[in-house]
Chains A and B, each alone.
Chain A
Amino acid sequence: MRRTIKKYLSESREQKEVIDGKIISKDIFGRATVQTATGTFKAVDLRGRGTTGVKINNTAQNQNEFAILAGNQERNIIQPTYYDLPNNNFNFNLIVVDTCNYRIQLLNKNGTFISSFGSESIFGMIRGIAATDKDNIYISEQYPNYKVYQYDSNGNRKKELDANGGIYWPLGICFRNDYIFIANGEYIEKFDADGNYIKSYNFSCEYPSSYLYDVAIDSNSNYIVSYFQNNIVRKYDSQGNLIFTLGTQSQYDEGSNDDGKFWSPRGVAVDSQDNIYICDAFNCRIQKFDNSGNFVLKFGSYGNKSGQFNIPCYIRIDSGNNLYISDFLNNRIQVFSSSGSFIKSIGTQGNGTNQFNMPMGIAIL
């Protein structure tokens, strides 16, 4: 059960802070333990004490108010009652695969940690992620199972996806136009939003090792796929006909850092104008192309300062055309504008809240 809870200091009746959290337990007196990004609090209903002005989702509640008291304090509890908010009010909208912490982190786009699920006993080497809504999260796992799973945001595995030819090498996943698309070896597998298999598209190319790393779908249902071992990215129409190739095919160890060329292109994404953004992983930069494939700009270099990368891995774009990029070996998510201006960095190395251990896939709601 998820709830969005806003924190007030009841003493002054003045709003001091707004936080998101979830109730993880309730005792027999109706007191709730609330887990938030900053710790665990006791939540009690102060309605009977005359506390007013309490709001949930900016809407005044006539009953079922919460006040959360810092430091596990407990106050007079009169007629404790609880307000159950629908799941879609649980305010996460950024989902990150935290690969070597074996967990999925749920955050808001400011980078505030909301919740997480998963452990080493549950996940192997997890990679890509997409979400159709807050309770349909698709996760690809490489070793040891090579599967794609559907989870809810409470961490319950709902099902395992299967395609006609089998899921055998799943990596990037994207959600677009009510469909889920999964890079699976040389194939893109298409599923509906509930995870029901629809069709496989064979995108094998004329070169050896044409495994796909990621997939993006533009507004015309064209496919943009990255051939990370051939140093090229291709755009195909919805029927699988080649429209253009970005980069120049070369062996894996012969990449180029010229504009418009790549060294192991990995994550791909499109913005609202169908511009294409590509994680040029071994060049530690992002390249942007227009929807005709013309080079527009590049940004980033090797390093760990703001705006630098150590293997940019996946990229996803929100409705405001902000770019969220997993900076794999710097253990952070970096956010940029569509012109490549650095906006902020989310996370540091570690296994606590707001920390990552080699983040990979990103999904944005």
Chain B
Amino acid sequence: MIIVDDNNYATNKTFTVNTIFNGITEKNIYINSGVAVILEGICQGNVYLSKNSYCEVDGIVEGDFIYGEGTFEFYGLINGEIRKN
């Protein structure tokens, strides 16, 4: 199951369910454990993955991408640094 989120967020956004995100976050994105996020929109901050989480970037991450113990695939653009911690 996955939901589609077209909203924009001025603050940090934490995803707690599987989501295709088409909006814009002005701050950071956090992805909870057990959750997949397809990032088709824009994150103007950083993206942080929890353990046992997945992020597929089809849109743009303007900050850093911190994958921790999660995993990811990039089809879009990461302007910042890709790092584990």
Contact = CB atoms under 8 A, between A and B. Distances in A.
A302 B34 CA distance: 12
A349 B50 CA distance: 14
Given A125-B72, A125-B73, A302-B1, A358 B38 contact: no
B54 A143 contact: no
Interface residues of A, number: 24
A310 interface: yes
B52 interface: yes
Most chain B CB atoms below 10 A, which of A143, A209, A283, A349: A143
- Looking at chain B's contact residues, the main secondary structure is loop
A168 to B, nearest CB: 12
A259 interface: no
A328 B52 CA distance: 9
A282 B2 contact: yes
A100 B20 contact: no
Contact of A310 (B4, B34, B72): B34
Contacts of A253: 4, 20, 22, 38, 40
Given A253-B4, A311-B18, A329-B35, A358 B54 contact: yes
Contacts of A138: none
A252 interface: yes
Q: What range describes how many residues of B lie at the interface?
A: 20 to 34
Contacts of B34: 310, 329
A260 to B, nearest CB: 19
Nearest to A171: B73
A284 B2 CA distance: 9
Interface string B25-40: 0000000001110101
Contacts of B9: none
Nearest to B68: A100
Nearest to A349: B52
A329 B36 contact: yes
A311 B36 contact: yes
A310 B32 CA distance: 14
Nearest to A257: B1
Contacts of A203: none
B81 interface: no
A252 B72 contact: no
Interface string A93-118: 00000011000000000000000000
A345 interface: no
Nearest to A311: B36
B52 A125 contact: no
Interface of B: 1-2, 4, 18, 20, 22, 34-36, 38, 40, 51-54, 58, 69-75, 82
30 contacts: A100-B52, A100-B69, A100-B70, A125-B71, A125-B73, A142-B73, A143-B74, A143-B82, A209-B58, A209-B75, A252-B38, A253-B20, A253-B22, A253-B40, A282-B1, A282-B2, A282-B20, A283-B1, A310-B34, A328-B36, A328-B54, A329-B18, A329-B36, A329-B52, A331-B52, A357-B69, A358-B52, A358-B54, A358-B70, A358-B71
Interface of A: 99-100, 125, 142-143, 209, 211, 229, 252-253, 263, 282-284, 301-302, 310-311, 328-329, 331, 349, 357-358
Complex A-B, nearest 10 residue pairs according to Cβ-Cβ distance, in ascending order: A302-B1, A282-B2, A253-B20, A253-B4, A99-B71, A329-B34, A100-B71, A125-B71, A284-B1, A311-B36
